[in-house]
Amino acid sequence: MIQELLQQKLQVFFAQQYDSEVQQFEFQATRKEFEGDLTLVVFPLLRYVKMAPEALGTALGSFLEKEVDEVVGHNVVKGFLNLSLADSLYIDALKDIVQTDSYGHVPVQENSPTVMVEYSSPNTNKPLHLGHIRNNLLGYSVAQILEAAGNRVHKTQIINDRGIHICKSMLAWQRYGGGETPQSSSTKGDFLVGKYYVRFDQEYKKEIEAGLAQGLTEDEAKSQAPILLEAQAMLRKWEAQDSEVRSLWSQMNVWVYEGFEQTYTQLGVAFDSYYYESDTYLLGKEIIEKGLKEGVFYRKADQSVWIDLTDEGLDEKILLRSDGTAVYMTQDLGTAAQRVSDVPELNGMVYTVGNEQDYHFQVLFKVLKRLGYSWADRLFHLSYGMVDLPSGKMKSREGTVVDADDLMHQMRTTAQGLADELGKLEGMATDQKAELYHQIGLGALKYYILKVDPKKRILFDPEASVDFNGNTGPFIQYTHARICSLLRKSTLKPISGEKFPLDAKEKEVIKQLMSYPETVQQAATQHSPALIANYLYDVVRAFNSFYQNVSIMGTEDEQHQQFRLHLAQVVAENLKRAGGLLGMHMPEQM
């Protein structure tokens, strides 16, 4: 790699000329407004040499131009040395890429680190919604990126299948369901259960109003509403293993799981394992007992169990209520320990959970560390911002959420309208068109969500996401289809060893391709699919500029023509490979 060669030469130069040992040199792509291909940042080197940055840059540029055949020119702008590189370097780089299987992705080895990525983690009282879509897309994409970076990856989720919110749906179905099932009503199971979660809230509000009319305070009306008291009683029966309650709970959960699987299949995400809160909260209690014996936790007079983290800038955190019932922290302690037990070779865990839980995970990681778990330092919270719609914030209990299934249907419908407008689907069978609309619609959704830094909040606009121009998924997919069309009309032959002058547009495309391996590693380190999405856009912009300004088939030099065809093919493969890290499909016709 050219940067490694330049670093070796520069290390020798500093040792001989200035008797200084420099370990690292900072290189970056030359900014478009300046001449050059690769830039050496001179400022950090001034601590080794007492001279003006421009003078040092000029000296280094002259040295490299003399000692390195690939450096054919240089210029200095303040503290930046811009190097111009030989066309032959780019030609050889493309040849190497052509000959490299799965270019940019590191093969998983026997001794590769193992990372578990948790995402989705839904409640079994409602369908998956737009917020879950961001969670699933982020988690799945990060898992794909980590694997591409050379890790073994285990994808999992924790299903929140117990608690008062679950009992609310169960109770409402008992009261108002009349024995309705997904089969009898032709309703998807998670939608059916979610309908009764909304119904509970509607009836609860009526009872609150009735309580207020009787002279109760608002807090009294809320806490004394008969339907809420009945749901709380149902939860106590559940924890006491009441057979009737448990039977209803199991049946309604099955309905929900079947609905979830349909949604996951449509969304294109999958899991290697499932954990259930109804199991892991009990494991957490065992860990807490162990922590009490070891003095990590303490028990208050009311018998509740706590940990004091005030010396670490946090506060006191409850781990078990006074009646012995679990809190979320109890469950998460048990789940973490169980996962390491199930996958002993685990090197780290990534939790994909919204930023409203930032504090929770700070505490969880500290508690696990206090308990002495050696793996506690290798836990990461992939915190992300919420997703809003132009109409405002969503609320599940009020039935104002945008369900994931409905949104995916809307995306497919919108994609169909735009694709049909292009009028380039002649001869395509009906089922092929349906698959294409799905790929475009889901590609638009995934790219729109994932191109934003995970920490930022998103205002999701379905119409804007399905656009064949600009920084969108369909724009990238359309470029892939355009290249496939070009290649179908051409014959690829092996690239010879001949050299020829390259157009600047060609070099820019190759530069983008050369940066892909480093981009994958950066995205893995930062747990950021946005880096891959923005890379895709940069590649597409560079290729389209090349395609529009340089005639691929117009050159009389057959070898150069073949070089350009191979360049187009490599770009298509790169789009498909990088797009796959985001879960996007790249159609061959649009």
Centre a 10 Å sphere on the Cβ of residue 342 and count the other Cβ atoms it contains. 13
Note the pLDDT tens digit of each residue in 190-213: 999 999 999 999 999 999 999 999
Burial of 295 (0-12, 13-18, 19+ CB in 10 A): exposed
pLDDT digits (tens, 9 = 90+) for 248-273: 999 999 999 999 999 999 999 999 99
Beta bridge partners of 73: 84
Residue 399 confidence (pLDDT) above 70: no
The predicted model scores a pTM of 0.91
Residue 200 token pair: 């509970």
CB 466 within 8 A of CB 440: yes
| Backbone φ, ψ for residue 217 (5° rounding) | -70, 170
In the chain, % of residues over pLDDT 90: 85
Tokens of 254: 């099955």
Closest CA to 337 of 364, 359, 297: 364
Tell me how far apart the alpha carbons of residues 349 and 453 are, in angstroms, rounded to a whole number.
20
pLDDT one-digit tens code per residue, 533-563: 999 999 999 999 999 999 888 777 888 999 9
How far apart, in whole angstroms, are the C-alpha atoms of residue 339 and residue 238?
A: 25
Residue 537 CA to residue 144 CA, distance in Å, equals: 19
Q: How confident is the model at residue 394 (pLDDT cuts 50, 70, 90)?
A: very low
Q: Which H or E run includes 191? A: helix 189-213
Q: Which domains does the chain have, with CATH numbers?
A: 2-85 (3.30.1360.70), 404-581 (1.10.730.10)
If pLDDT is split at 50, 70 and 90, which confidence band does 396 have? very low
Residue 328 pLDDT grade (very low, low, confident, very high; cuts 50, 70, 90): confident
- Contacts within 8 Å (CB) and 24+ apart, 512-519: 512/538, 512/539, 512/542, 513/93, 513/94, 513/97, 513/103, 513/539, 513/570, 513/571, 513/574, 514/93, 514/97, 515/29, 516/103, 516/104, 516/574, 516/578, 517/103, 517/104, 519/104
Q: Are 568 and 480 in contact (CB under 8 A)?
A: no
Q: Pairing relation of β-strands 379-384 and 346-354?
A: parallel
Close Cβ partners of 420 (under 8 Å, ≥ 6 residues apart): none
**Each residue of 296-320: pLDDT tens digit?**
999 999 999 999 999 999 999 999 9
Q: Which of 79-88, 160-169, 496-505, 578-587 has the lowest mean pLDDT?
A: 496-505
Give the CA distances from residue 27 to residues 4, 30, 69, 145, 322, in Å, rounded to whole numbers and listed in that order. 10, 9, 18, 24, 59
Give the per-residue SS3 of 118-138.
ECCCCECCCCCEHHHHHHHHH
